[in-house]
Amino acid sequence: MSRWLVRIGLGLLVVAGAAAAYGWHRLGSLDAPLSAEGGTATVEIEPGMSFAGIVDRLHAEGLIRDPLVFELYGRYLGVGGRLKAGTYAVDTRQTPRALLRALEAGTLPPEARVTIPEGFNRWQIADLLAEQGLVDRADFLTRVERGDLEGRLFPDTYRFRPEAGAEAVLDVLTARFEAVHAEVLAAAPPAARPQDAAAVRRHIVLASLIEKEGRTPRDRRLIARVFHNRLARGMKLQTDPTCVYDARWYREVPHPRYCKNPENRYSTYVIDGLPPGPIANPGRDALAAALEPATGDRAEKLLYFVARRDGTGEHHFSETYAEHQRAVQRYLRSDRARPGRRPR
């Protein structure tokens, strides 16, 4: 009988030892780097998020490998209700134990989330980024002008470290543009792809006009067709957004005093053809529409468009000036003084 008791006791010791070793091994995950490769990862902790939800988020982002141990350790320390909400840049060389302390203290470097809308020009983007404290406005605009980057500041949602600086922000925006532009070109028919640097620039300029005028995929392709048709016929584009592309006027509503100003080298009421550069930063759909405008017998004849102002964001398209004038009367009426979206 005593021999059996000894054996049972030894078995229990072995089991206990194995359990302790396993537990110690798992606890060791708290002191291993988040990633052997290092680098930075972004994690967002939303206001009101539970500790369990935070643990799930960290695990989903690949920042912790053993969520159970991390959660139990956090609950043992009593930090569950003290973690600070925010968007953080996490150095993945640190350990889960250090990450938990940093989240509790709120000492991780936060990141600013900024969305650049489609169709914003350089001055609007500079205003937006400067308001967030990410760039010095004058420095940003100087770099954009020096690098001829208007049109290549891709509109999207980004995350930046506070006071990132103009150079770092511009590197991200232009890299995103180059990636999307390459995808758009690859998806276009070979015959539609620009073949040299001058053609690429014309493509971006045209896309910027389409972006400023169009709001829906259908309209962008039809507006692109109108512009192609007018250029082919040697007609002025007469598109209102070009009238106020100027550091002095970009906040203004298009008006004849800007559109008819003979010194306004961007106004397509004054100049022939495309303006000398992009007037905004186009998104993917506008870049694609510039290469693949609407097709069809009627589309080939369209020369005018006017905003319908019916809440759809779409336009009425016309083949003749007389038809266009009737559409203006129908859709604008007394609202004609507001900025139009139409060549005239």
> pLDDT for 26-36, tens place per residue?
666 788 888 77
Domain 114-187, CATH class in plain words = alpha beta
| Separation in Å, CA 123 to CA 128, 179, 188, 244, 314 | 9, 23, 31, 12, 26
- The pTM of this model reads 0.70
> pLDDT for 301-338, tens place per residue?
999 999 888 878 889 999 999 999 998 888 876 454 44
Please indicate whether residue 110 or residue 243 has the higher confidence score (pLDDT). Answer: 243
Residues of the chain with CATH 3.30.1490.480: 32-110
- Enter the CATH code of domain 32-110: 3.30.1490.480
The CA distance from 117 to 182, in Å, is: 20
Yes or no: say if 101 and 74 are a contact pair by the CB < 8 Å rule: no
3-state secondary structure of 42: strand
> What is the token pair recorded at 13?
């010791």
Widest pairwise Cα distance in the chain? 112
pLDDT at 213: 95
